[in-house]
């Protein structure tokens, strides 16, 4: 049956629109429309495709990213242009870069007086190499590198990677093979592991394994769960497309076709340029959103690349220059239990100090009892320690064939502690469905009190400089301070008392009192974070402050109201309610305010940058959530809330028994959401706003 022209062109239009929004969201990280609107486009396309299955013949529809059935095995695919690897410079000092430039100049027979060679410098992504084959601009096949000659067909899984275009923009070359690295961002890796940990399931060792394992799942549904990403760094077979003159402009072209290309790259001249890039990236390494294990230098001119050619399997025109490894082996001397701010008991491996990810590490977290047991970490074991980004170092696994005869017993937290908190002696508990043991001592436990104080004074909280571990130990053990409010009470904490402490000079004492005084002026977000509410990190604290605007409103919010805040689900909402239900906590807050701490109660952002800026909403009917809260929430995202429906209204939110406003909306074809849709809409808007 022929598809009516109006429907086939509508489908094409929708595919184009959705592709554009995928690109904005997944590649540029700049969504143009709310999720709900995207979902509407998506569903409309799905409906058309259901009606006319012929629309799917080219498989480039964004609805077809996931949907493939699990395979029995991957097909082998021969690479028409072999996938080579590059020489790795293991000398991590500047010498690595200098040696590469010298080699290139020698091969090109350049004399000393001749100008420096131009290089394209890139990151060395730590994932898995993939070849994406586009024919007439359509993604037709994706393959792993394999042995370089033959790889495996992983097309189904690669289609689930949202940032990879199913169709190139403005390129209909008969063949264009794009090569690059599939990787897992640190954030997606942490999120995946947190979920697994919470369910007592095995965690991924590192993002690279996450990416490699994800791509090799036979079930594309499982691959999609890993939320992988991609960066292009080169080409394979090319037919019907004219190559630019340089590698850097080649990457620019790929970027314009909608292929993700990292912006962290540079065109430099000579060895000094390489050295500079290596140093600059090394300094940024921890703050990148993904793992890299070094940088890659490539001779920028494609003509010179050709002239240089290959030695065996490696191009002479490229080289990888490594950074210190993010994983190392070392020995576990002991396993300690740390008591956290909320009483959480965390097993920590005491290690033979090891240089990893750029620093010396002697403690690494084992997360919790289940994970320690699953990995079967024992005293005396040789383990692999990972430290990447600013994440706390962790033990990722045991090297079993190095286990000594006299290694310790399997880990058992309860037995190790004889059922008592190692600091205060209170009973330890592990509630059903919880992965963590906790000390039941609350703020009676000095460890929790100390941690609470340190957290309160931390850089991201009230930022009281000079109030570190040692001092907090002395203040708490000496009975001078027991709650954050005591810091502001000059009867309790004053120069005279400080003078009596060990290693406390007059100057430091003065500085400390000044720092405490200065911390009184703070923001609501910092203050909320500083309280140390379980499950409320910095980001959530910011959202809470932005959403509620005042401390009083936050303190009185119930679980339903709290769940309207981005990323606040039932668990977080419950923690917040439980915190404010505790008399002691409210007393401390009141004392803090009385002591002069003044959280500044509006932490707004410029309206034009907010995701709902310029949108007008009308709320009508009876809503389960308070109308005022819905309004504030919308306004916090930049929207206007109007009283009546007109052509200028973008959305109507209709509760039960909505009347004339709803009729008017239908008349004017204004999109209408029910309350459930509204809640989901707000969640997704805020989640995007968040990222
Ligand atoms: S270029 C012929 N560039 O590192 C040159 N490779 O041995 C082909 N890698 O597993 C490679 N980032 O997947 C190149 N910016 C980058 C890279 C990169 C990571 C990986 C690649 C391969 C290994 C190179």
The CATH number of the domain holding residue 55 is: 1.10.287.610
Kindly state whether residue 69 falls inside one of the protein's structural domains.
Answer: no
Kindly state whether residue 222 falls inside one of the protein's structural domains.
Answer: yes
CA distances from 133 to 32, 169, 333 (A): 29, 14, 51
8 A C-beta contact, residue 516 and residue 597: no
Going from the Cα of 390 to the center of ligand 1, the distance in angstroms, rounded, reads: 25
8 A C-beta contact, residue 398 and residue 377: yes
- Nearest residue (by CA) to ligand 1, atom 10, is 129
> Which of 67-81, 364-378, 644-658 has the highest average model confidence (pLDDT)?
364-378
Going from the Cα of 510 to the center of ligand 1, the distance in angstroms, rounded, reads: 55
Last residue of a domain, one of 551, 582, 600: 600
Residue among 76, 124, 195, 298 flagged as catalytic: 124
Kindly state whether residue 208 falls inside one of the protein's structural domains.
Answer: yes
Per-residue pLDDT at 690: 55
> Hey, which residues does 330 pair with through a beta bridge?
383
Active site annotation includes 640 = no
172 and 252 housed in the same domain? yes
Kindly state whether residue 425 falls inside one of the protein's structural domains.
Answer: no
Cβ density class 418-428: b for 16+ within 10 Å, e for less? eeebbbbebeb
411 and 454 housed in the same domain? no
Q: Which residue has the tokens 């554009």?
A: 20
Higher pLDDT: 140 or 57? It is 140
What is the pLDDT confidence band of residue 624, given thresholds at 50, 70 and 90?
confident
142 and 287 housed in the same domain? yes
Span 33-54, average pLDDT? 88
What is the pLDDT confidence band of residue 609, given thresholds at 50, 70 and 90?
low
Q: Is the confidence at residue 171, as pLDDT, over 50?
A: yes
Kindly state whether residue 282 falls inside one of the protein's structural domains.
Answer: yes
The whole domain housing 229 covers: 87-322
**Measured distance CA(650)–CA(652) in Å, rounded:** 7
Span 466-489, average pLDDT? 94
Span 135-153, average pLDDT? 95
What is the pLDDT confidence band of residue 689, given thresholds at 50, 70 and 90?
low
8 A C-beta contact, residue 409 and residue 386: no
Per-residue pLDDT at 606: 45
Residue in 328, 289, 284, 88 with CA at minimum distance from that of residue 207: 289
CATH value at residue 486: 1.10.150.20
In the chain, the number of structural domains is 5
Span 510-537, average pLDDT? 94
Per-residue pLDDT at 403: 95
Going from the Cα of 124 to the center of ligand 1, the distance in angstroms, rounded, reads: 7
CA distances from 597 to 31, 77, 518, 536, 691 (A): 39, 66, 9, 20, 31
Q: What percent of the chain has pLDDT over 90?
A: 68
Mean of per-residue pLDDT scores for the chain: 91
166 and 29 housed in the same domain? no
- The pair of structure tokens assigned to 374 is 């699953």
CA distances from 529 to 456, 457, 533, 541, 544 (A): 8, 11, 7, 5, 10
Per-residue pLDDT at 604: 47
Q: Tell me which residues have their CB closer than 6 angstroms to ligand 1.
A: 84-86, 122, 124-125, 129, 181, 233-234, 296, 315, 318, 320
101 and 247 housed in the same domain? yes
Last residue of a domain, one of 569, 600, 631: 600
618 and 548 housed in the same domain? no
Q: Is 401 exposed, middle or buried, given 0-12, 13-18 or 19+ CB atoms closer than 10 A?
A: exposed
Kindly state whether residue 203 falls inside one of the protein's structural domains.
Answer: yes
Last residue of a domain, one of 299, 322, 345: 322
What is the pLDDT confidence band of residue 481, given thresholds at 50, 70 and 90?
very high
189 and 272 housed in the same domain? yes
Cβ density class 40-58: b for 16+ within 10 Å, e for less? ebbeebeebbeeeeebeee
Q: Hey, is 333 helix, strand or coil? A: strand
Q: Is the confidence at residue 408, as pLDDT, over 60?
A: yes
Higher pLDDT: 631 or 18? It is 18
Pocket test for ligand 1, best of 181, 212, 314 (most atoms within 8 A of CB): 181
313 and 368 housed in the same domain? no
CA distances from 299 to 6, 25, 96, 265, 593 (A): 51, 32, 15, 13, 62
100 and 156 housed in the same domain? yes
How much is the pTM? Answer: 0.74
Span 101-113, average pLDDT? 96
Per-residue pLDDT at 86: 93
What is the pLDDT confidence band of residue 688, given thresholds at 50, 70 and 90?
low
623 and 664 housed in the same domain? yes
Span 22-34, average pLDDT? 82
């Amino acid at each position: 049956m022929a598809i009516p022209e109006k429907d086939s062109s509508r489908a094409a239009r929708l595919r184009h629109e959705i592709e554009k929004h995928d690109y904005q969201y997944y590649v540029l990280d700049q969504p143009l429309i709310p999720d709900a609107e995207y979902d509407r486009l998506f569903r409309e396309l799905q409906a058309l495709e259901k009606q006319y299955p012929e629309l799917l013949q080219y498989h480039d529809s964004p609805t077809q990213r996931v949907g493939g059935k699990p395979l029995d095995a991957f097909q082998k695919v021969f690479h028409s242009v072999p996938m080579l690897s590059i020489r790795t410079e293991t000398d991590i000092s500047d010498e690595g870069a200098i040696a590469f430039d010298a080699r290139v100049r020698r091969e090109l027979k350049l004399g000393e007086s001749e100008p420096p060679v131009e290089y394209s410098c890139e990151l060395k992504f730590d994932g898995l190499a993939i070849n994406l084959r586009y024919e007439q601009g359509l993604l037709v096949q994706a393959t792993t590198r394999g042995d370089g000659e033959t790889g495996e067909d992983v097309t189904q899984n690669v289609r689930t990677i949202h940032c990879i275009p199913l169709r190139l923009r403005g390129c209909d070359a008969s063949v264009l093979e794009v090569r690059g690295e599939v990787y897992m961002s640190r954030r997606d890796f942490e999120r995946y592991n947190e979920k697994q940990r919470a369910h007592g399931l095995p965690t991924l060792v590192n993002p690279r394994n996450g990416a490699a394992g994800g791509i090799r799942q036979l079930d594309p549904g499982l691959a999609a769960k890993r939320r992988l990403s991609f960066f292009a760094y080169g080409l394979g077979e090319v037919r019907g497309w004219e190559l630019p003159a340089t590698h850097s402009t080649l990457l620019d072209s790929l970027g314009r076709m909608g292929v993700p290309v990292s912006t962290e790259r540079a065109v430099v001249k000579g060895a000094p340029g390489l050295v500079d890039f290596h140093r600059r990236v090394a300094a940024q390494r921890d703050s990148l959103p993904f793992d890299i294990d070094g940088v890659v230098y490539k001779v920028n001119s494609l003509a010179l690349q050709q002239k240089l050619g290959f030695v065996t399997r490696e191009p002479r025109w490229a080289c990888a220059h490594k950074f210190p490894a993010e994983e190392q082996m070392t020995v576990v001397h002991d396993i300690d239990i740390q008591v956290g701010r909320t009483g959480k008991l965390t097993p920590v491996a005491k290690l033979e100090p090891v240089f990893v990810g750029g620093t010396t590490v002697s403690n690494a977290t084992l997360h919790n009892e289940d994970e320690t047991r699953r990995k079967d970490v024992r005293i005396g074991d040789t383990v692999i320690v990972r430290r990447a980004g600013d994440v706390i170092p962790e033990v990722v696994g045991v090297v079993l064939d190095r286990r000594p005869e006299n290694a310790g017993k399997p880990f058992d937290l309860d037995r190790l502690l004889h059922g008592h908190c190692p600091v205060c002696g209170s009973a330890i508990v592990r509630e059903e469905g919880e992965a963590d043991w906790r000390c039941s001592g609350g703020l009676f436990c000095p460890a929790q009190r100390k941690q609470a104080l340190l957290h309160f004074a931390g850089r991201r909280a009230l930022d009281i400089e000079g109030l570190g571990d040692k001092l907090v130990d002395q203040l708490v053990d000496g009975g001078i301070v027991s709650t954050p409010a005591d810091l502001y009470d000059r009867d309790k904490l004053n120069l005279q008392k400080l003078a009596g402490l060990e290693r406390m000079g007059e100057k430091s004492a003065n500085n400390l009192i000044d720092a405490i005084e200065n911390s009184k002026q703070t923001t609501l977000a910092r203050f909320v974070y500083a309280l140390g509410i379980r499950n409320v990190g910095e980001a959530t604290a910011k959202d809470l402050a932005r959403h509620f605007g005042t401390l009083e409103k936050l303190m009185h919010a119930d679980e339903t109201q709290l769940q309207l805040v981005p990323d606040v689900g039932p668990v977080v909402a419950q923690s917040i309610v439980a915190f404010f239900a505790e008399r002691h906590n409210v007393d401390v807050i009141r004392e803090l305010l009385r002591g002069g701490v003044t959280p500044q109660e509006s932490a707004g952002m410029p309206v034009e940058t907010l995701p709902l800026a310029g949108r007008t909403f009308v709320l009508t009917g009876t809503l389960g959530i308070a109308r005022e809260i819905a309004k504030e929430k919308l306004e916090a995202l930049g929207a206007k809330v109007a009283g009546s429906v007109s052509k200028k209204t973008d959305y109507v939110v209709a509760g039960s028994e909505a009347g004339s406003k709803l009729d008017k909306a239908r008349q004017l074809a204004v999109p209408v959401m029910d309350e459930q849709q509204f809640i989901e809409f707000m969640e997704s808007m805020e989640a995007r706003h968040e990222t």
